[in-house]
Structure 1
Amino acid sequence: MLVSAVTLGCALLLGQVEAQEVAEPEAPAEAPVDATQATTPGPPVAPEPWDLQMAVPNASSPQQPYDGHAFCLTLPPTPAVPSGQWRARCDEAKKECLVSPANELDAEGHENDQPLQRVDWCVSHLMPTETARQYRMVPAIAEAPPGWYRDERGRVLQYNFDLHRRVYLGGAWAPRWLRGTDGVDERVRVDFGVDLEWPGDSDRLHRMTLLDTELYLGDAASYEATLLRYDFRSQHDAPLFRVTTFYGRPRRFDVYANLGFWMEVLHGEQVRREDVHADFLSLAATDLTLDLWHSSDLVSYVRVRAGPAVERDRTNGFFTLVPAAALEGDLTLDRDGFHHVRFGAEAQKVLLAEAVDGRPLRPERLRLRAGYEVILLAINDQPVSLTLDGRGTWRDDVANAPAGWEWSAQAGLRFSLWAPARRSAPTSSPGKG
């Protein structure tokens, strides 16, 4: 009995121990770790702010080149350029940018709302800030077209003018003296017209003048006008003939024939001498020209020309043939087109005329002229010039008027519209090359 009781007690004790082991909860298993979550970086680090304080250009600053592309650039705002808008022309090899404000500056050196004039469009979004920070920024004056100048405030002005391409209007005091009279005709002159010039092929230069008009008001009022005048000049490389001399060392001299053409259509003239008058209308005139000298660009020249014209004597009502010969010159004396000298001497003979009482059967005319024009100033980039002219005319084609000379000294001002820069205008600014 004792053994049975001990055995039963041990069995009960072992059952309680197993029940406690089953009742204890198991430790939870660790969740698997996601590899992508473990390697995810934190938020990007913001770059340090660009503390560049770009200076505005001054009079000694370099100028941006006219060639190449300009970039639109946004830089940190400054007191002078609060918009932060600039234009840059960069050198990739030097890692350097010439930078100018995108707007003009006022007298205090602060930008205003006027964008730069006569500049190329700048290209946007090609130079982000990260790229721009790798370049050295140099304050510079924006580029200017050939014949134009830009100051340190970004304002542009024209300093080179082509007076052979313009629309002009002028006035002058133009008194006249007649030989054999003691009096002076007090007159003023009003002149206007259109001058055109363009280069052609094979070293040729064309010129045309439209509505070339001179009105004389006051004593002995009259006019002289031409509807159209055209000419061309050329430069030939092959000589017309060669001259060789054998005194000492043989030497060769080339003689060139730089021929051209000149014509006028509808040239009208009204002549007043004392109490008589005459009206002439040249329907067409054609001349051959020969340059005695011309500049390399064919703009300046000294030449002779000769040819016939068909003329209508409107006073007496018949047509005539008028051959003419002339020596004339047109000289531009400086690079920027400020100084011009023109001169000419022309002789005409009136043929096939009907007999008119009080004048010869074959009248003659001789005209002399010398003039100087200089640009004084410009208004809105349109030049205003001073004109000085001296003229003399001898003629005996006015019936019942004594043959003789008339002289005129003229001084006035001329306003030229358009007048672009000359084709040979430099790209550098005055005083900088």
Structure 2
Amino acid sequence: MIIQAAMVGWVLLLSQVEGQSGQGESPSEESMVQKLRDTPDEERSPEPVSPPAPPAASPQAPSPAPSLVAPQAPSPAASSAPAPALDVTDLTGLLAPEEPQPVLRYDLPVFCVRLPPTQQVPSGQHRMQCDPATHRCLISPAYELDSSGEETRRPLLRTSYCERSGPALEAQVQEGYRFVPAIADAPPGWYRDEQGRVMQFNFDLHRRFYLGGAWSPLWRRGVDAQTDRLRVDFGIQTEVPSGEEDQRLHRLAFLETELYPGEQNLDITLLRYDFNVERRVPLFRITTFFGKPRRFDIGLNLGFWSEVLHQEVIEREDTELSLLTWVALHGTLDLWHSEDLSSFVRLRAGPALERDRTNALNTIVPTAALEGDLTLDVDGFHHLFFGVELEKVLLAEDVPGRPMRPERLKARVGYELILLAINDQPLSLVADGRGGWRNDMADVSPKWEWSANAGLRVSLWAPARRSAPLASAR
């Protein structure tokens, strides 16, 4: 009883103190006393109470003493939490420019992707080409840029096919890819500038439709020079490679024409066809045994040349001669040709069936020629051509004023240089010199005559050469 009375007194005293400082939140005296009375001694241990939140620090409060307890290691769940995602909404912060600006490869896969917009490319449309080995992605705008470097609505021309489903940008950023601004891809023989505009830098002048004009003065021995003479020329040329066992190059020319305004002089060919060949199996294999055995391969690269309906009109000293070649069939032997067979030096010989329309004669005209056509640079800007041709007229009837078997000798050398291109159609300078001697015109004394020609020629449909390089590989 004495112990219980003492405890009751102590509780009453404690409740008075807490009532003065507890601001009305402590339980009443009666309820606490009644609780103590009703609770057995073994069950009177207080229940654990969660510690209150630490009070806000005040300027006057002293800083707590440093804890001597070692910090606990983070739980596995906390350590395996994913790192915060990188910001991929701002493309500017992901770019790694390089100088000089790289170029996408036309011969490698390209993806069409939509990236975060920038001030220069608000649409976000790009062409992307990635290299997993270097973790480097080249990106170029899918539209042309203006002079200030901002996007226009003109799509890029002459690009390769692109896949629409590309790799996820977020994954590439997480893997550490660098995004490098670049120039879009262009096909072989074409170049693209920093604005995305494409232009042709390589031309095949053996595949074209051409139209030109030239000043063409003529000099004949003993006759006043014709310095007011002009020439107009046009024609269509193409060539097609073929062959599996032997490499061949087929050439076709249509309507090759030379006109001289104000004169009757004319030269027109309806169709010309020829091919040359690179034999893979040599005709002769010569082996020498002076010391170490050595083998020498000798091949004859024989080809074919033909003309159909070649009309020539020549006017000299008020005399006109009209010759129509029905067909000419010649064999050729390449003395040299380039690897792609486009350039060559060759011998040509064979007969032609000719109609002398002025004298109403049908004749056979054997011909022998040495000729060459050389492309001097990889981009096709420089061309050199030459030829020497000898003709003999056979089976002709006697015509007063000329020999029984007339002869003709022709020589020519020329050069063509591309100056510029208009809408990707090359404009070239053409200069050539010609010489000739003939005695097949009745009552016209045979004389050497020379002409010099200088003019311009525009070539339409002049694609890039088959050996044209990529601009990115130059």
Superposed pair shares fold, TM > 0.5: yes
Match of 2:50 in 1: none
Match of 2:91 in 1: 52
Match of 1:189 in 2: 231
- 1:73 equivalent to 2:113? Answer yes
- 1:177 equivalent to 2:219? Answer yes
Partner SS, residue 204 of structure 1? strand
Measured after TM superposition, the shift of residue 182 of structure 1 is 2.8
Q: Which runs of 5+ in 2 are unaligned?
A: 1-83
Map 1:29-428 → 2, pairs under 5 A: 50-53=89-92, 60-134=100-174, 135-184=177-226, 186-201=228-243, 202-218=246-262, 220-243=263-286, 252-428=295-471
User: Does structure 1 retain, via aligned residues, the 8 Å contact 2:88–2:170?
Assistant: no
Measured after TM superposition, the shift of residue 243 of structure 1 is 4.6
Tell me the matched-pair count: 386
Partner SS, residue 217 of structure 1? coil
Matched residue type, 2:274: D
Identity of aligned residues (%): 60
Matched residue type, 1:150: R
User: Does structure 1 retain, via aligned residues, the 8 Å contact 2:218–2:225?
Assistant: no
User: Does structure 2 retain, via aligned residues, the 8 Å contact 1:56–1:80?
Assistant: no
Q: Give CA deviations for 1:378-427 in whole Å, capped at 9, x if unaligned.
A: 01111000001100110011111111111100000010011111111111
- Mapped partners of 1:184, 1:48: distance in 2: 79
Matched residue type, 1:387: V
- Mapped partners of 2:187, 2:365: distance in 1: 47
Measured after TM superposition, the shift of residue 253 of structure 1 is 3.6
Q: Which runs of 5+ in 1 are unaligned?
A: 1-44
- Mapped partners of 2:193, 2:441: distance in 1: 58
Q: Give CA deviations for 1:2-27 in whole Å, capped at 9, x if unaligned.
A: xxxxxxxxxxxxxxxxxxxxxxxxxx
Which structure has the highest strand share of the two?
1
Matched residue type, 2:109: H
**Structure 1 residues 130 and 58 mapped into 2: Cα distance closer, same or farther (>3 Å)?**
closer
User: Does structure 2 retain, via aligned residues, the 8 Å contact 1:377–1:385?
Assistant: yes
User: Does structure 2 retain, via aligned residues, the 8 Å contact 1:213–1:226?
Assistant: yes
- Mapped partners of 2:460, 2:451: distance in 1: 27
**Structure 1 residues 186 and 59 mapped into 2: Cα distance closer, same or farther (>3 Å)?**
farther
**Structure 1 residues 183 and 140 mapped into 2: Cα distance closer, same or farther (>3 Å)?**
closer
- Mapped partners of 1:280, 1:397: distance in 2: 11
Which structure's CA Rg is the greater one? 2
Q: Give CA deviations for 1:186-223 in whole Å, capped at 9, x if unaligned.
A: 211110001111101021111111110000123x4411
- Mapped partners of 2:293, 2:160: distance in 1: 57
Matched residue type, 2:249: L
Q: Give CA deviations for 1:87-111 in whole Å, capped at 9, x if unaligned.
A: 1011234332110011111111111
TM-score (norm 1): 0.84
Q: RMSD value over aligned CA atoms?
A: 2.1
User: Does structure 1 retain, via aligned residues, the 8 Å contact 2:127–2:140?
Assistant: yes
Q: Give CA deviations for 1:328-363 in whole Å, capped at 9, x if unaligned.
A: 001110111110000000000001111111111111
Measured after TM superposition, the shift of residue 66 of structure 1 is 1.3
**Structure 1 residues 411 and 58 mapped into 2: Cα distance closer, same or farther (>3 Å)?**
farther
TM-score (norm 2): 0.77
